[in-house]
Amino acid sequence: MRWRTLATLAMAASLSLQAIHADDIVFSSSFTSETAAYNPISNPLSTLNFTNFNSWNVTKGAVDLVNLNGGGRALWFYNYAGAAPANSFVDLDGTSKQSGQITSKNGMNLTPGNYQLSFDVSGNLGRRPNAEGVTVRLDGLGISQHYELGSGEGFTHKTIDFTVTTPTTTNLSFANESDDPATMNDDQGPLVGNINLSNLSAGIASVPEPATIVIGVGLAGGLLLARRFKRQAKVKTA
């Protein structure tokens, strides 16, 4: 029974250590909620120039919601020989000859700490032989990161790490911008999906330090052993 108690304490310490490294998702958008509501089974291209996003406003030009759950891979990626991309993502150069931009609808209130923005991005997957460009901005923080992508460059996972020193409200945006203007406004843009903003500092202040946990488990174990020896001593003197 005593060793079961020690095992329980050790497990609790392990869970506490795991909590220290737990991330807090501040914002997440995989576009699956939109594609569930707008599933163009009979017309795979019916989500062109899409604006009914749950978490985004189209703040420049036009964008297309790509929903391969409704079929249409051959229509979207007829020149791409690579593996099929994710089912839900956004083409940042819509079908209006105007390269687009999406911006988060609501400002994100960030407390001081370390953060990571992650997302998947690709070129136009062979639909045009043009390179593509994407600029990612966190407006309230003055953070801007630009990526130039080859036409046939498949989805790659990108991360941007940053630190917030004072409480800040920011908006997140993805824009089709390029070093070569000839690659823009042609209805064949870069693709973006699986967007997540995480607070890497979440939970640290609410759990004990690792040293404190180890000391606590050690003290508990020591007390149990002391009681055991005390009982053995009473038996010998009886």
Per-residue pLDDT tens over the stretch 136-172? 999 999 999 999 998 888 889 999 999 999 999 999 9
Confidence at residue 199, expressed as pLDDT on a 0 to 100 scale: 97
pTM of the complete model: 0.75
Paired sense of beta strands 56-60 and 191-199, if any: unpaired
CB 204 within 8 A of CB 11: no
Per-residue pLDDT, averaged over 96-121, amounts to 96
Evaluate if residue 130 carries a pLDDT over 80.
no
CB 76 within 8 A of CB 66: yes
Predicted confidence band of residue 213 (pLDDT cuts 50, 70, 90): very low
Cα angle value 21/26/29 (rounded, 5°)? 115
CATH homologous superfamily of 23-202: Galactose-binding domain-like (2.60.120.260)
